[in-house]
Every structure is written in C-alpha cells, then in structure tokens.
Amino acid sequence: MQFPGLTQSLVDMLRKKIIIGELEPGQKINEIELSKSLNISRSPLREALRTLENERLVIYTPRKGNSVSNISLEDLSEIYQLREMIECFAIDLLEEKSIQTYENLNLCIDRMTGLEVPLQSASPEEKLNYVETLAEFHLEMVKVAGNKRLFDSYVTIHSNINRYVFLYVFTQGVFEHRVDDHIEILKYLKGKKYKEARKAVKDHIRHACEECNNFKGLSALI
C-alpha cells in the first residue's frame, strides 16, 4: 500500500535533483533502476514523473521513456514571457479585487532581507534555498490574486525559473540579491499604485531574463 505523501516526496526529491543539475539536461531516467535504488514500487514513481512532466522538467518520449528536459535560450525566453504575462495579470486581479492584505508578502520580504548569499563552496541545498526564498515573493503574489487556475499555471513554470536562476547564479558566480525590487513592488501594491507595480514587475523580470540570456555558460550546457 502506497501512502499519498510518497509521491509528493518523490516529486520534491527529483525536482531538486533536476534544478541543481544532479540530474542533467537530456539525461534518461530509468524507472526500474530508480525504483530499485529507492526501494519503492514504480507506481508512485510514475505519478511523480507525470507531475514533473507537467512542469516541463521531464519529457516523456514513446518507446524511449522519460528524460530530463533540455535547456535553451529559446526556452528561457518563452518561460520569462509567460512569467511576465502571469504576474502582470495577477496585479490586474489585485487591483480589480482591491486586495489590501499582503501579510504573506511581508513575510517573504522579511525572509529574503535576512538571507545571506551562499558561498560558492556552500552545499547545493543551501544554494537552492537561496534561490527559492527569492522566488517565493512572486509565487505568493500570484497566489494572493485568488485565481486558482492562474496560480496552477504559474506553478508549472516556477520550478523552471528556479532551474535557470540556479544555473546562472551558481555557475556564473553572479550573486545579485535585488531585495529592493521586491520591496518596491510591495510598496506600490500597498499604495494602490498598480500601474507602477506592473512596471516594476516587468523591469524586474526583463532584467533577470536579460542577465540569464547573457550567460555564456548556458550555451555550453545545451
């Protein structure tokens, strides 16, 4: 008998391995070997892989099985275009609904303000925590907008955003905290300056995309 939490644990574990590069782009995922090494049945593993396929971290090819999705500048650009569209529409919804409570966004700011940039020698887990803490603000902003389908769509690209940021930051060695951007966005939302908030979000996302696009090391990993 399988426990419901097992599949989610597998999703979390495999997602982390893909984001930090332990499972490399294009690498085949052997279900039989993996299930044996983890001492689990293949059923929850398959469910986990389907979830990761939905997130575009895993690609299933008929008669070939599952493999880690590849990375590319084109994919990066498309993800960030979709990210901009979703986050800006989330602000439209915040304006439409006159949302005034941003307690969770305040907590996100508090967490990232107290965050220390990991050393290059830090563990992959520490580095991933750094990336995820910075990204949490954007995830929460979309969630606060209150459209479940919009949030679900954002979740499917969220892990890919973290994947590219992790690759860029900790391979290129560029550590840019940019907490001020998030503080500014929240200030505009609280002040009901939605036009300014949308512009701040666009500028933040486009700057991040441009920085990743300029990452020469990405081409070598494709």
Q: Determine the pLDDT at residue 205.
A: 92
State the architecture of 73-221 in CATH terms: Up-down Bundle (1.20)
Report the alpha-carbon distance of residue 216 to residue 212 in Å, rounded.
Answer: 9
Sheet of 58-61, strands arranged across:
28-29, 65-68, 58-61
How many H-runs (helices) and E-runs (strands) does the chain carry?
Answer: 10, 3
Same fold for the domain at 4-68 and the one at 73-221? no
Q: Determine the pLDDT at residue 178.
A: 77
E-strand ranges in 50-206 read: 58-61, 65-68
Q: Average pLDDT of each block of 10 consecutive residues along the chain (222 residues)?
A: 75 95 94 90 92 94 93 90 97 94 94 83 88 93 96 94 83 66 95 97 89 60 50
Q: Determine the pLDDT at residue 218.
A: 55
Report the alpha-carbon distance of residue 114 to residue 28 in Å, rounded.
Answer: 39
Q: Determine the pLDDT at residue 1.
A: 42
What percent helix, strand, coil does the chain show, rounded to 5? 70, 5, 25
Q: Where are the domains positioned within the chain?
A: 4-68, 73-221
CATH 1.10.10.10, applies to 4-68: yes
